Structure 1
Amino acid sequence: MNNIDLLQSDEVKRFIKENVETDPSGLLLNPPKNFKNHIKEIVNQIIARKKAKGKLDDWATNFELVMPAPLSIEQASSQTTCTYKQNLISGDYLVDLTGGMGIDCLALSSSFNRTIYVEQDPALCEIFRYNSLVLDYAVEIKNMEALDYINSAICNPNKTTFYLDPARRDSDQKRVFRIEDCSPNLTELLPALREKANHVLVKYSPFLDIKGILNTIPNVKEVHIVSVKNDCKELLLLIDFNFTGISQITCVNLKSEQHIYSFSFEEEALSQARVGEISSYIFEPNASVMKAGAFNKICADYDLIKLGENTHLYSENRLVDSFPGKTFEVISNANETSIKEFATNGKINVITRNYPLSTTELKKKLKLRDGGDYFLVAFKDLNNKAKMVIAKLIHP
């Protein structure tokens, strides 16, 4: 019996379902006698489903599927970001060169006539083969290295799109910040990719430097910075080998305010921000805009005042419904008396921007905990002086 047959036996599926909320360490220490020889594989299914909860709920609750190793779940896209990627590419022929768990491959396949999944790990190939049949997806599977597949494939460039999700950690499992340290290395694949396709979509970690990528990779038509609930999750590069213009940067914050903000680094360099005093409302850009560094362009586009030269908070005496981020109403200046008034049982949400103390340090100094309906917003003003105000979140 192979692992997939074992994990899909009625007895094992029932055990996994009954213990999906059980502490895995306890199961490893005290395995049932009939599962003792395979308890690690079974427990890994439980751990993987725990990690998938809230990220890949359809998979976490489908006990007909076999989960890959927990690390594959951590590295996989969420259902939310998969859906976003579906709108970026479409066509005749998709090749996912870094198949992995296959979440992106399955999602993107719905926009193509033919899809090929390429993966160097034979175990992941077998799991994907099984799961794609369970989910009724018709995807061809190639157990190969990405470069080997590209070199051997016969492709019509006008009809072919490649997708890559390079590994974002080195051999010591440390985070990396350059595309050259990711595997596969896109810079090494580009000549071969250019011969076989016109379009390539690449997913990277948000830790990578966007300007560094654009200085290294030519023909990037679009960069999408994707956040979910204001947590930056992915950088997506859309490469078009026929494109030679200025890259468009698109900032999205899914499952939160839905305003999409687009600009170019050239526009940011030419924009000037008006620095001034705080007024009725504070505007805080979302995580994608902050990652993009659109600090002057967004100020000019929405006709706002920047609260300090290096303070990425903005203000005006009017509401801006389409602002891509949070909007706060200023209640009062913050001092010992007002903080006590608005902090319920010592709870008030704390935000610091370009302030001498970090958020954690300021909370410790003032003996505050996050919570309640109000915010303590601390920043440096136009005169580079530290300032604090009490505010209330009104959007989203």
Structure 2
Amino acid sequence: MYTPKEIEQICRWRSEYATTPPDRLLLGSNAIPSTYRPAVATQIKLQQLLGNKLPSLSKCGIYIPEGINLEQASGEASALYKQRFVLPEDSLLDMTGGLGVDFWAMAQVAKEAIYVEQNEAMYSASAYNLPRLHPDRQVNLLHGDSMQILEEIIDQHHPTIIYVDPARREDIMGTKRVYAIEDCTPNLYELIERLKQLNEPARLLVKLSPMLDIKHTLEHTPHIQQVEVVAVKGEVKELLLLIDLNLSQLHRDQITIRATDLNAIGRATSVTSTYVEEQASPLQISPSPLSYIYEPNAAIMKSGLYRSLGKQLNLAQLHQHTHLYTSDELLADFPGRKLELLEVIPFRSAAIKGLKKRLPMSMISCRNFPMKADALRQKLGIKDAGSTMLIGTTLQDGSATLLLCKMIL
């Protein structure tokens, strides 16, 4: 672990040797003492990733202890999106500060902000970074286990919104990741009970692994008001739980479910519903594919809000379990992939026998189809390339079918 003065010097060397390959920096002749060379090399090595993932923080010249800290941190778009949960009058407590990316974003909105981190190296990095990221305001930095000093923090600051990103760990044998909430730290259920005992009516914003099952989470976690699936450019990054201890517990099916996809500049496209509304929404099925085919983005697919999406956009699906939509007119703002239908090909030997000759290459996808994409590609002998997409799917009448489509950008 380095002191703030040492970190400052490491960052100076990073600027001075920015064009030097990290390997040459470690082994070659230069003015950097050998003790600090690994840290300087790490900073130089991470600059491209830092600039892509956190451009605003990169411009401020932040220090990163290890590459894994940057890999595990939120991206800038998803961090800034969390500002929507914070009010200007809020006192924000981040119990799992880490690299401080989410804290940096949310603290811009809150009246007061408290950062807590128990890892010494991460705390030292944030002690250097956060004053540079928030030059016009004071942030409170605490080093320690937030669960151990919870009462002290509450007595002094009375936070109105508490942010928690429970650490996922490997199981005892180190063979697989653990995604159950109760196996993460800090323990969310214990935290909720302790806040109740302290009569602290705070809101909690909890970041969880996208691997968690949403319905199971809703059944076992009290006081949830909203769960949000957050994707960035089509890839699901996190689940967010909004818990409000001021409000009574809702039934699982009454909790707001929101599926959000953020584009490259952080613009959000969302679908919002509840499981009651989802179940009550009519299932619209098209008897045949129409001119355009739509595939929902990953956030919607994770949320399961298929009927709600069809109802909100007045779109019919191809089959109850296919989750592909179709229309005669192009819906340009559909939240997901948009394709123009070129041809409907029955999945029968006679129809697909000569397909390779006239379609030597195409992307392939399968939705509710008796074969996986790799197996279908092998059967057809089509190369994975080109501007078309061949979708193996099942239609309303139960027939396995191939849809040849052109991508719409």
Distance 1:175 1:169 in 2: 6
Q: Which amino acid aligns with 2:402?
A: M
Q: Which residue matches 2:194?
A: 192
1:148 partner SS: coil
Map of 1:210 onto structure 2: 214
Residues 369 and 114 (structure 1 numbering): CA distance in 2 closer, same or farther, change over 3 Å? farther
Structure 2 counterpart of 1:234: 238
User: Does the 8 Å contact 1:201/1:239 carry over to 2?
Assistant: yes
TM-score by length of 1: 0.88
Map Cα deviations across residues 227-280 of structure 1 (whole Å, 9 max, x no partner).
Answer: 111111111111112333421111111117853210111222233423332122
Q: Distance in 1 between matches of 2:260 and 2:322?
A: 22
Task: Could you tell me which runs of 5 or more consecutive residues in structure 2 were left unpaired when the two chains were aligned.
Answer: 346-351
| Matches of 1:36 and 1:274, distance apart in 2 | 67
Name the structure 1 match of 2:75: 78
Q: CA deviation at 1:66?
A: 1.4
Q: Deviations over 1:158-213 (max 9, x none)?
A: 86110011113335383333211222121111112343242111111211111111
Root mean square deviation of aligned Cα: 2.7
Give the letter aligned to residue 19 of structure 2.
Answer: E
Farther-moved stretch of structure 1 (270-279 vs 30-39): 30-39
Contact 1:259 1:323 in 2 (8 A): no
> Which of 249, 254, 257 is the matching residue for 2:257?
249
Q: Which of residues 245, 268, 271 is equivalent to 1:261?
A: 271
- Paired with 2:392 and 2:232, the residues of 1 have a C-alpha distance of 25
Q: Does 1:283 align with 2:294?
A: yes
Q: Which residue of 1 aligns with 2:162?
A: 162
Q: Are the counterparts in 1 of residues 356 and 382 from structure 2 also a CA contact under 8 Å?
A: no
Bigger mean CA offset, 240-249 vs 88-97: 240-249
Q: Distance in 2 between matches of 1:80 and 1:336?
A: 47
Hey, what's the Cα distance between the residues in 2 that align with 1:156 and 1:145?
Answer: 16
> What does 1:171-182 align with in structure 2 at a 5 Å threshold?
172=174, 174-182=176-184
Any idea what SS the aligned residue of 1:311 has?
coil
Distance 1:130 1:7 in 2: 7
CA distance in 2, matches of 1:73, 1:85: 18
Is residue 107–residue 113 contact of structure 2 (8 Å, CA) maintained in 1? Answer: yes
Q: Is the 2:229–2:236 contact (alpha carbons within 8 Å) kept by the matching residues of 1?
A: yes
Which residue matches 1:124?
122
In structure 2, distance between residues paired with 1:16 and 1:266: 59
2:348 maps to none
String of CA shifts for 1:329-349, please: whole Å, max 9, x gaps: 111124465665455xx3x22
269, 274, 279: which is aligned to 2:284? 274
* Other structure's SS at 1:282 match: strand
Q: Spell out the pairing of 1:323-342 with structure 2 (5 A cutoff).
A: 323-334=334-345, 335=352, 340-341=357-358
Q: Secondary structure at the residue paired with 1:54? A: helix
Whether the 8 Å contact between 1:201 and 1:237 is mirrored in structure 2 is: yes
Matched with 2:391 is 377
Contact conserved, 2:319 with 2:395, CA < 8 A, in 1? Answer: yes
Q: Distance in 1 between the 2:106 and 2:192 partners?
A: 21
- CA distance 1:11–1:184, change in 2 (3 Å): closer
Letter matched to residue 366 of structure 1: L
* Worse overlay, 101-110 or 234-243: 234-243
Shift of 1:327: 2.0
Name the residue aligned to 1:101. Answer: 99
Residue 38 of structure 1 and its aligned partner are, at CA, apart by 3.2
SS in 2 for 1:17: coil
- Size of the aligned set, in residue pairs, is 387
TM-score (norm 2): 0.85
Share of identical aligned residues, percent?
31
In structure 2, C-alpha distance between the alignment counterparts of 1:102 and 1:382, rounded to whole Å: 50
1:349–1:375: 8 Å Cα contact kept in structure 2? yes
1:220/1:243 contact within 8 Å kept: no
Aligned-partner SS, 1:87: helix
Residue 210 of structure 2 aligns to a residue whose secondary structure is coil
- CA gap of 1:331–1:156, structure 2 versus 1, over 3 A, is farther
Q: How far does residue 40 in structure 1 lie from its aligned partner after superposition? A: 2.6
**CA contact 1:286–1:326 (8 Å) conserved in 2:** yes
The letter for the 2-side match of 1:210 is I
How many Å separate the matches in 2 of 1:180 and 1:382? 42
Counterpart CA distance in 2 for 1:83 and 1:8 is 26
In the alignment, what sits opposite 1:18?
19
Q: 2:331 aligns with which of 316, 320, 325?
A: 320
Out of 53, 68, 71, the position equivalent to 1:55 is: 53
Q: What secondary structure does 2:366 align onto? A: strand
Contact 1:7 1:13 in 2 (8 A): no
Distance 1:2 1:167, change over 3 A: closer
Determine if the alignment matches structure 1 residue 134 to structure 2 residue 132: yes
How far apart are residue 215 of structure 1 and its match? 0.7
- Unaligned runs of 5+ residues in structure 1 are none
Q: Report the CA distance between 1:99 and its aligned residue.
A: 0.3
CA contact (8 A) 2:39 2:65 kept: no
Distance across 2 between alignment mates of 1:175 and 1:38: 33
CA distance in 1, matches of 2:139, 2:388: 51
What secondary structure sits across from 1:202 in the alignment? Answer: strand
